[in-house]
């Protein structure tokens, strides 16, 4: 069964550095998402992306964050000037359709640890 893949599985970075989290969505999916989960807490929406544009972003997704689809398969989340509070699990998800009546399939996540 096709799945969303994320790399790396764990990223350790010094505070203030930039990180890029990578995702390969399911191949026939057109809509992509990033979510964040701080340890022990709920899953939080960051951003949705379609047709090379951001569809919606949350208040968490400020100027420190950016997303990109650099080629036909990858979907990346860049975090500039990382802060301690950026430490979390970051999940990429994809769906065939954009409406909230479409299932979103999650990758295994990248655990980001900021030191």
Partner 1 sequence: QQPVQSPQAVILREGEDAVINCSSSKALYSVHWYRQKHGEAPVFLMILLKGGEQKGHEKISASFNEKKQQSSLYLTASQLSYSGTYFCGTGGLRSNTGKLIFGQGTTLQVKP
Pick out residues in 59-88 that bind partner 1 (CB under 8 A): none
Can you spell out the DSSP letters for 8-25? -SEEEE-TT--EEEEEE-
Cβ closer to partner 1: 14 or 40?
40
Between 4 and 43, how does the x/- string for binding to partner 1 read (CB under 8 A)?
A: ---------------------------x-x-------xxx
Q: How far is the CB of 19 from partner 1 (least distance, A)?
A: 19
Classify residue 20 as exposed, middle or buried by CB count within 10 Å of its CB (0-12, 13-18, 19+): middle
């Amino acid at each position: 069964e096709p799945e969303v893949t994320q790399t790396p599985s764990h990223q350790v970075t010094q505070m203030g550095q930039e990180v890029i989290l990578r995702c390969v969505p399911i191949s026939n999916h057109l809509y992509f998402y990033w979510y964040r989960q701080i340890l022990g807490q709920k899953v939080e929406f960051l951003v949705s992306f379609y047709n090379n544009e951001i569809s919606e972003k949350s208040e968490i997704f400020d100027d420190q964050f950016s997303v990109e689809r650099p080629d036909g398969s990858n979907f990346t989340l860049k975090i500039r000037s990382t802060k301690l509070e950026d430490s979390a699990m970051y999940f990429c998800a994809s769906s065939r359709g954009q409406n909230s009546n479409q299932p979103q399939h999650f990758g295994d996540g990248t655990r980001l640890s900021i030191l």
